[in-house]
Amino acid sequence: MASAADNEPSDESLVSAACAGDDEAFTQLVARHKGRVFRLAARFSRNSLELDDISQDVFIKAYEKLSTFRNDAPFEHWLVRVAVRVCHDALRSRKHEKNHLPLDEHGPELRDRGEEARSEAREAREILAFALERLKPDERLVITLLELEQLTVRETAAVTGWSEANVKVRGFRARQALKRVLEKYDER
Amino acid sequence: MKDKMDERLDQLFAAARNEGLAIPLADDFFETRLLARIKEQRESAQPWYAAAWRLLPAFAAVAAMVTVCTLSFNPSRSSDMFAAITGGQDEVVGMSILTGE
């Protein structure tokens, strides 16, 4: 007996249909993969509005480039590459906003939250978010993919388009930068 | 060798991974809004030839520059045929004297 999953069209057939102008097929693709895109975009977003914007940009870019998709790799891998590129662009576009972000910013807020005895995990995430905001876009991208998304060096190289050696170097530098930010944070 | 700060970083990463993310997966209107944006972009997109008229000033500027260069660097042609022929011969004669041919 055929299960419901067997009856569902494959990603590849949906891509072909979407390329031929079938919007319904593209909607199915979005519904199928939006969870993965949301999870990745959430690592780089500051609020739910930004998350929504980045996620929409990812799928719009994917729609525009759909004809370049080759069936030599799963659609999800291709989509993640598009998503990483859009997230990187988003980080770079807001770089000028925080070029000289003072270390004191968010500090009182964090202290208040500490006084409110929030959970340890949440506080850790907030400290990390505070530190990540102070990294360069490249550093933030690579450290997020390696440490939070737990991609391997090879996978990170594949989704960023950088060489594996480059990923290692950037990852090391990002870690050093993160340590410096945390040291300064502790000194306050 | 890992130092204390490395350990702390690893703890922060682990905590951030474990905490999970607040993702609005229940947003049923995401696809609707996305399609609306795509349709809007599709309708506003113009074929390349529709935007060609915008290049008109650039083409006009290039044509003007070519005209000015042509007039400035090319010697004006004489309407006197005899002067034109002898002018050319003067150069040949001068060259023959100099080379001794």
pTM over 0.90: no
Q: Which of A31, A9, A7, A158 is nearest to A85 (CA)?
A: A158
Residue B79 — left, alpha, or beta (φ > 0 → left; ψ -120 to 50 → alpha)? Answer: alpha
- For chain A, domain boundaries: 9-93, 99-188
pLDDT number for residue B97:
80
Is residue A1 within 8 Å of A64, Cβ to Cβ?
A: no
A35·B22 Cβ contact <8 A:
no
State the Cα–Cα distance between residues A13 and A17, nearest whole angstrom: 6
Classify domain A9-93 by CATH architecture. Orthogonal Bundle (1.10)
- For chain B, domain boundaries: 29-99
- Please check the confidence at residue B52 and state whether its pLDDT lies above 90: no
Helix or strand holding residue A71 (H, E): none
pLDDT top residue among A95 and B6:
B6
User: Of the given ranges (A64-78, A93-107, A156-170, B15-29), which has the lowest mean pLDDT?
Assistant: A93-107
How is residue A124 annotated by DSSP? H
A110-131: pLDDT as tens digits: 444 444 445 677 778 888 888 9
Q: Which of A153, A130, A179 is nearest to B9 (CA)?
A: A179
pLDDT top residue among A140 and B29:
A140
Chain A nearest C-alpha distance from B17 (Å): 6
How is residue A104 annotated by DSSP? T
State the Cα–Cα distance between residues A185 and B12, nearest whole angstrom: 14
- Which chain A residues are within 8 Å of B31, Cβ to Cβ? 27, 30-31, 34
pLDDT number for residue B92:
75
Please tell us whether the domain made up of A99-188 is placed in CATH 1.10.10.10: yes
A56·B33 Cβ contact <8 A:
yes
- Which chain B residues are within 8 Å of A26, Cβ to Cβ? 35, 38
Enumerate the H helices of B1-101 as residue ranges.
4-19, 30-44, 56-73, 81-99
pLDDT number for residue B56:
84
Is residue A56 within 8 Å of A50, Cβ to Cβ?
A: no
Is residue A130 within 8 Å of A178, Cβ to Cβ?
A: no
A127·B23 Cβ contact <8 A:
no
How is residue A148 annotated by DSSP? I
C-alpha A125: how far from chain center: 16
In chain A, which residue's Cα lies nearest the Cα of B6? A179
- SS3 of residue B24 by DSSP: coil
Least CB-CB distance to B34: which of A38, A59, A148?
A59
State the Cα–Cα distance between residues A54 and A47, nearest whole angstrom: 11
Find tokens 């929030």 and name the residue.
A118
In chain A, which residue's Cα lies nearest the Cα of B37? A60
A42·B9 Cβ contact <8 A:
no
pLDDT top residue among A48 and A1:
A48
Cβ count near A141 (within 10 Å): 25
pLDDT top residue among B54 and A160:
A160
In chain B, which residue's Cα lies nearest the Cα of A174? B9
Least CB-CB distance to B5: which of A63, A124, A183?
A183
pLDDT number for residue A98:
55
pLDDT number for residue A80:
95
